[in-house]
Structures are given as C-alpha cells and as structure tokens.
Amino acid sequence: MHPHDEIRRTESGMQYKMFELQTDGLLLRVKRKMIESDPALTLTANDGHTIHVRHWSPAATAKGVIQIIHGLGEHGSRYARFAAAAVNCGFVVAVHDHRGHGRHGDTPGFFAVKNGWQLLVADTLVVNEFLAERFAALPVTLLGHSMGSFVAQDFAMHYGGRLAALLLSGSTWARRVETLPGNLLARIESWRLGAHRHSALLDKLGFGDFNKSFTPARTELDWLSRDPDEVDAYIADPLCGGPYTAGLWRDLTGGLLKIATDENISRVPTELPILITGGEHDPVGGERGMGELALHYAQTGHGRLTVKIYKEGRHEMLNETNRDEVTADWLGWIEQNM
C-alpha cells in the first residue's frame, strides 16, 4: 500500500492532505486534517530586524520540534512539502527567512553592514527561544541545509545544550587553504564596490564549477537535483538564486573560517546526536566533503555521529528523485534521537 498525496486548503486557510490509498483493488481518497499554519508570524531580532517565520503544527498533540535553517539563495517556503510529512508524523516545523532572503528581504543577497554572520546565528536563537517558549518541554532538532548547515554548526557551538539533535544536510568541511583566499577577495570586493553591491567575480568563484560534473547540462543549475521539474521550479522562483552581494560573500566565508576548526567543533556537545547527510555527487561537499566533516566530529569526541550519503544524489536531497526515501530516513532518525 503506497500513498499518493497532495496538499489542499479550505476557504478558512486550514490545510489538509488528500491521501490516495490503493488497497485490495480499491482506490480510497481520505481527507485528513493536517496543519494549523501561521505563515505571517514575525519575530524581532536584537537589532530590530524583522524575522519572518513559517510555522506548521499538527492538529493533535506534537511530540517534537524541527527548526529548519535554509540555504543560500532560497527561502523557507520551499520546505513546505517536508513540513507536511513531518507534521503528519507529529512534529512542529518552523523555518525563518535569512536576512536578504525571501519576500521581505530589504536588500536581496545582503546580511548586514557588519557582523552579518553573527546576526544569522543570533536570528536563529531568537526563533529557537520562541519555539522553546511556545512548545515547552518538546525536544528541538535543528536541521540546517547547505549554508544553513554552517549556521547550524555555529549555533550548536554556542547553544548546543538547547538542542536534542543536529541534522546537517548538503554540508562540507571548509578547507582553510581554499576559504582564506576567498575571504580575502570578498573583503577587497566589499571595499572596492561597497558591501551592498553585487560582485560577478565572487559569484563565479562561489558557484563556478558546480555544474561541471553534470555536462552536458540542461541548465546551469542541474547540480541541484536529478529531477528536472525541481530544477525548473527553482529557476522560475523569483525568490531563489541571486543576486549575492560582496558583503554576503565576506560574511559567509568569514563564518566558514570560524566554524571549520577542531577547537570550535569541540564546543558542540559531544553527547549531541548528529546526522551528516546528502548526495554523493553534491558539488558543495559530496561524499568527500561530508566524509571530512564527519572525521573532524569523530576526532573531537562526538560519539553519536551518523553519516548517510545517497548514491547519485546531488545538492538538494529533499527535492531529489528519491525525496520520499530521504524524508522518511530523516524523520525516522529524528524520532529515534530526539
């Protein structure tokens, strides 16, 4: 029996899921109340910045919270499908849009004039504190994807005691020999152009070779997923992709330099369950990069470490051709470790 499902919405705004179940030769369609959604939730950051949060809760009693930190060049609404599956399993899900991302970003692709990386981590704490207050006593799993996985690690280095588990998707170990020159160049470009200005040079260095392994390529973003519909949806989404400012690259590379040391990784609680997961052919890290990351966690005494690499997978495993398998795996791991 395999369900096929779709999300629908009533006139009042309540979401529900239509399940199609094939059993004993009969096709059954079941309407099930699924989500109470608060898409307009806003929180205030320490510096007055407005944090826009999407938040889904099961209609019944929840058993845990999944806080998502999205990646570069995307937004929280892209996680609605995963949230639907998680809510169906009894989890609350929340994801906020980073500064310079989403519909309400003041300057697209820009974090802040100064301390941009630290502000991303601070914003994550504001959302985490809201969730802890709203859903007291429920364990919180932090799920960070791509750039979000780097923010999640920095958060865990400072506030790991607030977490039940840490899931790192599409991540890697940032080698200093590669990151240091990039950070220096980003600082020069920020000075030369201004932190708010776009730098084609930095974009090329940041993404230049990502599609190289997938030639002949249908699009410049084939590295995201093997599913062409998902790639096309990303391209068509006006809130996805650049532009990225010189200041963003300065802050991002600075954040990578900060977290990619064994000294800082050792600040993540060693008893915290950690899942490092992603696609074998993800150009951000892939099997090699995730393996290096896992090695550093293992060497710093993190004994509750799991690595799950999906064969042939690319960067966005929640949007891959085997996304149902991935979703089930992740939710199963979270339930076992929360």
Closest CA to 127 of 100, 151, 103, 107: 151
Count of domains for the chain: 1
**Rounded-to-integer distance, Cα 170 and Cα 240, Å:** 17
Q: Is 9 inside a domain boundary?
A: no
Q: Please report the pLDDT score of residue 39 as a whole number.
A: 59
Global pTM value: 0.89
Q: Is 69 inside a domain boundary?
A: yes
Q: Please report the pLDDT score of residue 85 as a whole number.
A: 97
- Sign of the CA dihedral running 190, 108, 207, 220: negative
CATH code of the domain covering residue 162: 3.40.50.1820
What residue ranges of the chain have pLDDT lower than 50? Answer: 1-34, 36
Range of the domain at 291: 38-337
Q: Is 218 inside a domain boundary?
A: yes
Q: Is 20 inside a domain boundary?
A: no
Q: Is 162 inside a domain boundary?
A: yes
Q: Is 1 inside a domain boundary?
A: no
Q: Is 193 inside a domain boundary?
A: yes
Q: Please report the pLDDT score of residue 28 as a whole number.
A: 33
Cα dist. 223→177, 201, 207, 280, 312 in Å? 24, 20, 10, 11, 11
Closest CA to 78 of 45, 54, 60: 54
Q: Please report the pLDDT score of residue 32 as a whole number.
A: 41
Q: Is 46 inside a domain boundary?
A: yes
